[in-house]
Structure 1
Amino acid sequence: MDVMVEKCAGIDVHKSKITVCVLIGEMTNAKPKRELKTFGTTTMELHACAQWLVKLGITTVLMESTGQYWRPIWNILEPYQFQMILANAQHIKQVPGRKTDIKDAQWIAELGRCGLVNGSYVPDRDIQDLRQLTRHRSSVKEDLTRRKNQVHDILQRSNFKLSSYLSDIFGKTGQTLLHMFINGEAITEKTLEDKVHKRVLATLPQLVEAMNGSLTKVNRQLLKLELETINRLETECQECEYYIEEHIEKYEDVYLRLLEIPGVSRTTAQVILAEIGPTVDAFETAEKLASWAGLCPGSYESAGIQYGSKTTRGNRYLKAALCRAGLIAGRSNNQDFRSVYYKFKERNQKSKGIVALAHKILRIVYALIDTGESYDPGKQKKTPATAIA
């Protein structure tokens, strides 16, 4: 294998320690000088590691993306002006030639010295902070949905059919009725008169019959705990929205242009900006961005016949946000997106149509960020919606 880097270091990352292997030698030297050293993961020891690498004249530092453990190491080493490469662990394992007696750090260093490691995309610190906020919001919303489903389960097993008459049992009227269950209050037409909003279509007799169930003491207690958790999570989600809006002000130009794309909501635009960043310099083409996002159409050929294959895993946060945008755009009045969506729907391939529209939206996003232009429906008619097989 041809040598591409004269002085590089491979880091095997663990929770409480890191193992660093340094390889130093001319490009014509097949057997470079090798040195192994172990450091702790405290801030002081990581700075000592960085200073040691600087003293040796190391130019390139490589490490695997091991959970969240790589992040503090990256944050401390990055200011020392090394060429930082975050390797995909799966990619490293697939490279042939590894011997069982070679340590992980040495193997990473050897691959890096020969230029066989493709670095993962790591945005700058500010975008990383925005990404953490949007991902935290996503996690809170998932937890909120799970908690609401728990409330529905409690009511169903207690034979309360409240959800049959209220579109949202967690609205103002629903919350009031749920607290009546918890407090064990009598459910009659008289007690409900001043508690039911005038916009509720169900009649009082219907609501009384729907709430004619059997709620045990334990279920009341569980219902109380779930509602308290739901209220806390909703407050946390609102605070997270505020922090995201505050953080995204510096990227207002890109953010507002993303909102012009059909199907892209505030939340989707925020996720796109957090995952991709305000520039697309890390991605040479829209196709490479689509591959990274997991929206690249698969291709499999055998005996001269091409078959479709599933999309890759990709960035699940970006992929989910774009698929939601694709569904909204497909159901909108925008004929460019609507025609694609219903073409797939007529074939009973609605999910494929959503992914195809997500791919189309991502290509538009790439063009808008790359050129700095605003969304122009006339230009985007030329952007194909790739069929995802």
Structure 2
Amino acid sequence: MVRKKVMELEIINAKAAGIDVGSRSHYVAVGQSLQDVKEFGVYAEDLTTLCEWLLSYDITTVAMESTGDYWQNLFTELVKHGIDVTLCNGKFTKHPKGKKTDVKDCRHIQKLHALGLLTSSFLPDEVTEKLRTYTRQRNNMLSLASAASRKMQKYLKFLNFRLDVVVKDVCGLTGLKIIEDICKGNLDPYLLAEHRHYNCRKSKEEIAKALHGNNREDFLFGLKQELESYQFFQKKIKACDKEITRFVKEEIKKTPRKQKLKTSDKPYKRVNKNAPAIPNLNQIAFQYFDGVDLMAIEGLSHATVMAIMSEIGPDGFEKFRTSKEFVSWLRLAPNNKISGGKVLSSKTPKGSNRLKIALRQAANAMGNLKDTHLSDFFNRVAYRRGRQAAVSATARKLGVIIWTMVTKKVPYSPPNEYLFLDQKRKMKLVTRI
């Protein structure tokens, strides 16, 4: 008879537990036998009982999946009781072939964690997490406002008011005043055209020509409803901006040394209407990152800097030992699949997060600049592999630059310095004098 070979694996975490997180109950395993598994509820007292039960078995570390939002309260309670938590991605805890149950899942997670086969996901510090809550709420309001704006345009087309043809932005200064006047009952195209802003390219006559509508009552009612929704969401966005400004300034005040830091003004940086309305964000970001001037990078907007502050924060960069680890976490680095000495694939892995999206948008904007270090790199890649590949490559390069600046406290120094239009004008004035 052939004897079965038994493979012995070294136990890395002797006092480890595994939790299968659910919406209505959590299954906890402190061992591999059925007696070592217990079910707990999701109420506050149930979570406290769960932690006390783990401590009765001298458990020091716990692994669980980041399933939806159900893990957050349990995670907080475990940390409060001094238990080390490994929050891992669900793809690392896939159950082997066979029947899948909650009991088997928690035992499988406990086994993997005891053998040291699970790695923890990135979690920001408490300050960054609070700032992230404010900014994500702002982004939610922004998306709702844009949805209301699109519906306003739809009702305007139904009314045959072709405001989108004569005005670049329906929710701009001219467009909003005209829509507000329409909702008040003024349907005279010539009186509506009087709201034309002096920067508008179209004349009053052409605007009046586009505002001869059918004046249907049902479409006017829908337009009024969407205008009220848009104005409501704009108020919410302003409230979020005030709260973000207050929170960031309070964090800077906690370190008096940061308050003394000053950076140069950057009037050439355009402020988009959807960007956070935070006064002097350039100065605030410089102090928040302890003297690192991220706004010095050409093409990096106020919204991108705000995304970096809220999604990872200054302390979050320290959790990545190298810039390669950072861009790999962002899923911007190629994922080489090698078999038999051959590279089968080098595609960028699937997956996204808000910081990756912000860096890709910044990289896309850099591709529209001229004669800069990053735009030259963008154009070289775009010439060989197309714009999409250039956006990913430039976003990865941008991630490496930001990680280096924040962790090593070095200024941005491209090989060839780029001068914006305002800087070029100042140089011409100096040479004339």
CA shift at 1:140, angstroms?
Answer: 2.1
Q: For residue 266 of structure 2, what is the aligned residue in structure 1?
A: none
Q: Distance in 2 between matches of 1:113 and 1:186?
A: 73
Alignment of 1:377 with 2:414, yes or no, is yes
What pairs with 1:135-150 in structure 2 (closer than 5 Å)? 135-150=136-151
- Structure 1 segment 13-24 matched on structure 2, within 5 A: 13-23=21-31
Single out whichever of 154-163 and 10-19 deviates more from structure 2.
Answer: 154-163
Alpha-carbon distance in structure 2 between the residues aligned to 1:261 and 1:282: 23
Write out per-residue CA displacement over residues 141-160 of structure 1, whole angstroms, 9 at most, x where no aligned residue.
22222221122222223332
2:198 is aligned to: 198
After TM superposition, give the deviation of residue 293 of structure 1 in Å: 0.9
CA–CA distance in structure 2, aligned partners of residues 322 and 34 of structure 1: 49
**Counterpart in the other structure of 1:66:** 67
Q: Does 1:325 align with 2:326?
A: no
| Paired residue total | 372
Is the CA contact (8 Å cut-off) linking 2:189 and 2:212 kept in structure 1? no
* 3-state secondary structure, aligned to 1:37: strand
Partner of residue 373, structure 2: 336
Counterparts of 2:339 and 2:360, CA distance in 1: 30
Residue matched to 1:387: none
| 1:384 alignment partner in structure 2 | none
Q: Which residue does 2:228 correspond to in 1?
A: 228
Distance 1:331 1:198 in 2: 28
- Which runs of structure 2 are paired with 1:237-256 in the superposition (5 Å)? 237-249=237-249, 250=251, 252-254=287-289
1:282-301, CA deviations, whole angstroms, 9 ceiling, x for partnerless residues? 22221121121121123345
Match of 1:383 in 2: none
**Residue by residue, what CA displacement relative to the aligned partner does 1:214-243 show, whole Å, maximum 9, x if unpaired?**
242221111111111111112212222222
Question: Deviation of residue 363 (structure 1)?
Answer: 0.3
- The Cα of 1:378 is off from its aligned counterpart by 4.4
The two structures, once aligned, show a CA RMSD in angstroms of 2.7
Gaps of 5+ in 1: 24-30, 381-389
Shift of 1:321: 0.3
Q: Identity over aligned residues, as a percent?
A: 27
Runs of at least 5 residues in structure 2 that lack an aligned partner in the other structure? 1-8, 253-286, 418-433
Q: Tell whether the 8 Å contact from 1:98 to 1:107 is kept in structure 2 after alignment.
A: no
Equivalent residues in 2 for 1:148-227 (5 A)? 148-189=149-190, 191-192=191-192, 194-227=194-227
Distance 2:178 2:345 in 1: 52
Q: 1:157 to 1:341 in 2, by over 3 A?
A: farther
Supply the AA of the counterpart residue of 1:77.
L
1:108 shift after superposition: 1.0
- Shift in Å at residue 308 of structure 1? 5.1
Maintained 8 Å contact 2:307/2:358: yes
* Equivalent residue letter for 2:308: I
> What is the identity, as a one-letter code, of the residue corresponding to 2:28?
V
CA separation of 1:369 and 1:283: change in aligned 2, threshold 3 A: same
Aligned pairs for 1:82-101 (under 5 A) are 82-93=83-94, 96=96, 100=100
What is the Cα deviation at residue 34 of structure 1?
A: 5.5
Q: Which runs of 4+ in 1 moved over 3 A?
A: 31-34, 95-102, 300-310, 344-348
2:270 matched to which residue of 1? Answer: none
Q: Equivalent residue for 1:41?
A: 42
Q: Residue 144 of structure 1 contacts residue 233 of structure 1 at CA under 8 Å; is this kept in 2?
A: yes
